Amino acid sequence: MFDLVIYDCDGTLLDTETLYGEVSLALCHEIGLTGWSLDDYLHNLVGIPLADGFKVIEAALGRPLPVDFEDRIEAGVAARLAHELRALPGVREALAELAGRRCIASSTSLAPLRHNLGLAGLLDLFDPHVFSASQVARGKPAPDVFLFAAAQMQARPERCLVLEDSVPGVQAARAAGMRVAGFTGAAHDKAAMRERLLAAGAAAVVDDYRDWPGEAARLGAA
Protein backbone atom coordinates (compact mmCIF):
# COMPACT_ATOMS: atom_id res chain seq x y z
CA MET A 1 0.00 0.00 0.00
CA PHE A 2 0.98 3.63 -0.44
CA ASP A 3 1.74 5.89 2.52
CA LEU A 4 0.07 8.89 0.91
CA VAL A 5 -2.34 9.60 -1.95
CA ILE A 6 -1.92 13.05 -3.50
CA TYR A 7 -4.74 14.59 -5.53
CA ASP A 8 -4.68 17.33 -8.09
CA CYS A 9 -7.73 19.58 -7.76
CA ASP A 10 -9.05 21.27 -10.91
CA GLY A 11 -10.34 18.64 -13.30
CA THR A 12 -9.55 15.87 -10.81
CA LEU A 13 -11.67 16.71 -7.77
CA LEU A 14 -13.58 19.74 -9.05
CA ASP A 15 -15.29 20.26 -12.39
CA THR A 16 -13.60 23.61 -13.03
CA GLU A 17 -11.40 23.20 -16.10
CA THR A 18 -14.15 23.86 -18.66
CA LEU A 19 -15.43 26.84 -16.66
CA TYR A 20 -11.97 28.43 -16.48
CA GLY A 21 -11.50 27.67 -20.15
CA GLU A 22 -14.76 29.27 -21.25
CA VAL A 23 -14.14 32.47 -19.27
CA SER A 24 -10.50 32.75 -20.35
CA LEU A 25 -11.23 31.92 -23.98
CA ALA A 26 -13.90 34.62 -24.19
CA LEU A 27 -11.32 37.15 -22.98
CA CYS A 28 -8.73 35.79 -25.42
CA HIS A 29 -11.18 36.39 -28.26
CA GLU A 30 -11.85 39.92 -26.99
CA ILE A 31 -8.17 40.84 -27.18
CA GLY A 32 -7.65 39.36 -30.63
CA LEU A 33 -6.75 35.68 -30.19
CA THR A 34 -9.74 34.66 -32.26
CA GLY A 35 -8.15 31.56 -33.77
CA TRP A 36 -8.21 29.62 -30.51
CA SER A 37 -10.99 27.18 -29.66
CA LEU A 38 -11.82 25.72 -26.26
CA ASP A 39 -9.84 22.63 -27.24
CA ASP A 40 -6.80 24.81 -27.98
CA TYR A 41 -7.09 26.44 -24.57
CA LEU A 42 -7.50 23.15 -22.71
CA HIS A 43 -4.68 21.47 -24.63
CA ASN A 44 -2.19 24.26 -24.02
CA LEU A 45 -3.01 25.48 -20.54
CA VAL A 46 -4.58 22.72 -18.45
CA GLY A 47 -2.36 21.53 -15.61
CA ILE A 48 0.12 24.42 -15.47
CA PRO A 49 0.15 27.50 -13.21
CA LEU A 50 -1.86 30.50 -14.43
CA ALA A 51 1.24 32.68 -14.81
CA ASP A 52 2.82 30.10 -17.13
CA GLY A 53 -0.42 29.89 -19.07
CA PHE A 54 -0.37 33.64 -19.62
CA LYS A 55 3.06 33.30 -21.24
CA VAL A 56 1.59 30.74 -23.65
CA ILE A 57 -1.28 33.08 -24.50
CA GLU A 58 1.10 36.01 -25.02
CA ALA A 59 3.25 33.92 -27.36
CA ALA A 60 0.19 32.94 -29.41
CA LEU A 61 -1.12 36.51 -29.40
CA GLY A 62 2.25 38.04 -30.25
CA ARG A 63 2.05 40.86 -27.71
CA PRO A 64 1.74 41.36 -23.95
CA LEU A 65 -1.60 40.74 -22.29
CA PRO A 66 -3.60 43.67 -20.89
CA VAL A 67 -2.59 44.49 -17.32
CA ASP A 68 -6.06 43.60 -16.02
CA PHE A 69 -6.30 40.28 -17.86
CA GLU A 70 -5.86 38.11 -14.76
CA ASP A 71 -8.24 40.23 -12.70
CA ARG A 72 -10.91 39.93 -15.38
CA ILE A 73 -10.48 36.17 -15.54
CA GLU A 74 -10.71 35.78 -11.78
CA ALA A 75 -13.77 38.04 -11.59
CA GLY A 76 -15.51 36.15 -14.38
CA VAL A 77 -14.70 32.78 -12.90
CA ALA A 78 -15.72 33.83 -9.38
CA ALA A 79 -19.10 34.98 -10.65
CA ARG A 80 -19.76 31.56 -12.15
CA LEU A 81 -18.17 29.44 -9.43
CA ALA A 82 -20.69 30.58 -6.85
CA HIS A 83 -23.47 29.01 -8.92
CA GLU A 84 -21.80 26.30 -11.01
CA LEU A 85 -18.92 24.78 -9.03
CA ARG A 86 -19.39 21.17 -8.06
CA ALA A 87 -17.31 18.21 -7.06
CA LEU A 88 -16.95 15.49 -9.65
CA PRO A 89 -19.43 12.63 -9.11
CA GLY A 90 -18.43 10.02 -6.55
CA VAL A 91 -15.45 11.88 -5.02
CA ARG A 92 -16.66 11.83 -1.43
CA GLU A 93 -17.77 8.20 -1.60
CA ALA A 94 -14.49 7.04 -3.14
CA LEU A 95 -12.34 8.88 -0.62
CA ALA A 96 -14.42 7.51 2.25
CA GLU A 97 -13.72 4.00 0.94
CA LEU A 98 -9.97 4.59 0.59
CA ALA A 99 -8.09 4.13 3.83
CA GLY A 100 -4.88 6.01 4.51
CA ARG A 101 -3.58 9.55 4.32
CA ARG A 102 -4.33 12.02 1.55
CA CYS A 103 -3.57 15.60 0.54
CA ILE A 104 -3.91 18.00 -2.38
CA ALA A 105 -1.11 19.38 -4.59
CA SER A 106 -2.54 21.82 -7.13
CA SER A 107 -1.39 24.43 -9.64
CA THR A 108 -4.08 26.79 -8.34
CA SER A 109 -2.96 29.49 -5.89
CA LEU A 110 -3.61 28.58 -2.27
CA ALA A 111 -6.37 31.06 -1.36
CA PRO A 112 -8.67 30.34 -4.35
CA LEU A 113 -7.84 26.65 -4.07
CA ARG A 114 -9.12 26.48 -0.50
CA HIS A 115 -12.09 28.70 -1.38
CA ASN A 116 -13.11 26.46 -4.29
CA LEU A 117 -12.81 23.31 -2.21
CA GLY A 118 -15.05 24.89 0.38
CA LEU A 119 -17.64 25.89 -2.23
CA ALA A 120 -17.71 22.32 -3.52
CA GLY A 121 -18.00 20.83 -0.03
CA LEU A 122 -14.68 18.97 -0.14
CA LEU A 123 -12.38 21.04 2.07
CA ASP A 124 -13.17 18.97 5.16
CA LEU A 125 -11.82 15.85 3.41
CA PHE A 126 -8.32 17.36 3.16
CA ASP A 127 -7.94 20.29 5.53
CA PRO A 128 -5.28 21.32 6.53
CA HIS A 129 -3.32 19.27 4.00
CA VAL A 130 -3.89 21.49 0.95
CA PHE A 131 -0.76 22.51 -0.97
CA SER A 132 -0.25 24.78 -3.96
CA ALA A 133 2.36 25.47 -6.61
CA SER A 134 2.27 29.06 -5.31
CA GLN A 135 4.24 27.74 -2.32
CA VAL A 136 7.16 26.46 -4.41
CA ALA A 137 9.62 27.80 -6.98
CA ARG A 138 8.31 26.00 -10.07
CA GLY A 139 4.91 24.81 -11.17
CA LYS A 140 4.01 21.59 -12.97
CA PRO A 141 5.49 19.86 -14.98
CA ALA A 142 8.34 20.47 -12.53
CA PRO A 143 8.03 18.14 -9.51
CA ASP A 144 8.28 20.87 -6.85
CA VAL A 145 4.71 20.92 -5.55
CA PHE A 146 4.54 17.14 -5.24
CA LEU A 147 7.87 16.97 -3.42
CA PHE A 148 6.74 19.82 -1.16
CA ALA A 149 3.49 18.01 -0.34
CA ALA A 150 5.31 14.77 0.42
CA ALA A 151 7.79 16.57 2.66
CA GLN A 152 5.01 18.35 4.54
CA MET A 153 3.25 15.02 5.03
CA GLN A 154 6.52 13.26 5.95
CA ALA A 155 6.09 10.69 3.19
CA ARG A 156 8.80 9.33 0.90
CA PRO A 157 8.10 10.12 -2.77
CA GLU A 158 8.37 6.49 -3.81
CA ARG A 159 5.60 5.67 -1.31
CA CYS A 160 3.19 8.23 -2.83
CA LEU A 161 0.42 7.72 -5.38
CA VAL A 162 -0.86 10.70 -7.37
CA LEU A 163 -4.17 11.16 -9.20
CA GLU A 164 -3.91 13.70 -12.05
CA ASP A 165 -6.02 14.77 -15.01
CA SER A 166 -3.34 16.59 -17.04
CA VAL A 167 -0.18 15.71 -18.92
CA PRO A 168 1.94 18.31 -17.03
CA GLY A 169 0.62 16.88 -13.77
CA VAL A 170 1.53 13.32 -14.74
CA GLN A 171 4.97 14.50 -15.85
CA ALA A 172 5.45 16.33 -12.54
CA ALA A 173 4.50 13.28 -10.48
CA ARG A 174 6.84 11.07 -12.49
CA ALA A 175 9.66 13.60 -12.09
CA ALA A 176 9.05 13.48 -8.33
CA GLY A 177 9.58 9.72 -8.35
CA MET A 178 5.94 8.93 -7.58
CA ARG A 179 3.46 6.49 -9.10
CA VAL A 180 0.67 8.30 -10.87
CA ALA A 181 -2.75 7.40 -12.22
CA GLY A 182 -4.59 9.49 -14.78
CA PHE A 183 -8.17 10.70 -14.46
CA THR A 184 -10.41 11.46 -17.45
CA GLY A 185 -13.75 12.03 -15.73
CA ALA A 186 -13.84 15.72 -16.69
CA ALA A 187 -12.20 15.38 -20.12
CA HIS A 188 -14.04 16.33 -23.31
CA ASP A 189 -12.42 13.58 -25.37
CA LYS A 190 -11.83 10.80 -22.85
CA ALA A 191 -10.23 8.37 -25.29
CA ALA A 192 -7.70 10.90 -26.57
CA MET A 193 -6.87 12.14 -23.07
CA ARG A 194 -6.44 8.57 -21.86
CA GLU A 195 -3.81 7.98 -24.51
CA ARG A 196 -2.03 11.25 -23.70
CA LEU A 197 -1.92 10.47 -19.97
CA LEU A 198 -0.61 6.95 -20.57
CA ALA A 199 2.02 8.28 -22.98
CA ALA A 200 3.11 10.79 -20.31
CA GLY A 201 3.74 7.96 -17.86
CA ALA A 202 0.49 7.25 -16.02
CA ALA A 203 0.47 3.70 -14.67
CA ALA A 204 -3.31 3.49 -15.14
CA VAL A 205 -6.25 5.70 -16.10
CA VAL A 206 -9.72 5.87 -14.54
CA ASP A 207 -12.69 7.90 -15.77
CA ASP A 208 -15.08 7.27 -12.87
CA TYR A 209 -14.51 7.60 -9.13
CA ARG A 210 -16.38 4.35 -8.60
CA ASP A 211 -13.33 2.64 -10.09
CA TRP A 212 -10.74 4.59 -8.12
CA PRO A 213 -10.59 2.64 -4.82
CA GLY A 214 -10.05 -0.64 -6.66
CA GLU A 215 -7.44 0.84 -9.01
CA ALA A 216 -5.56 2.47 -6.13
CA ALA A 217 -5.52 -0.85 -4.28
CA ARG A 218 -4.26 -2.63 -7.40
CA LEU A 219 -1.47 -0.11 -7.89
CA GLY A 220 -0.54 -0.36 -4.21
CA ALA A 221 -0.22 -4.11 -4.46
CA ALA A 222 1.86 -4.05 -7.65
Q: What is the mean pLDDT of residues 58-62?
A: 92
E strand map for the chain: 4-7, 101-106, 130-132, 160-164, 179-183, 204-206
Of 62, 84, 106, the residue at which a domain comes to its end is: 84
Backbone angles phi, psi at 84, to 5 degrees: -115, -15
The count of domains in the chain is 2
Given CA atoms 14, 15, 19, 25 in this order, what sign does their dihedral have? positive
In this prediction, residue 15 carries a pLDDT of 84
Of 33, 66, 84, the residue at which a domain comes to its end is: 84
For residue 106, is pLDDT > 80? yes
Q: How far apart are CA 131 and CA 110, in angstroms?
A: 7
Q: What is the chain's length?
A: 222
Q: What is the mean pLDDT of residues 24-29?
A: 91
In this prediction, residue 129 carries a pLDDT of 98
pLDDT tens figures, 146-205: 999 999 999 999 999 999 999 999 999 999 999 999 999 988 789 999 999 999 999 999
Domain range spanning residue 118? 4-16+86-221
The CATH number linked to 159 is 3.40.50.1000
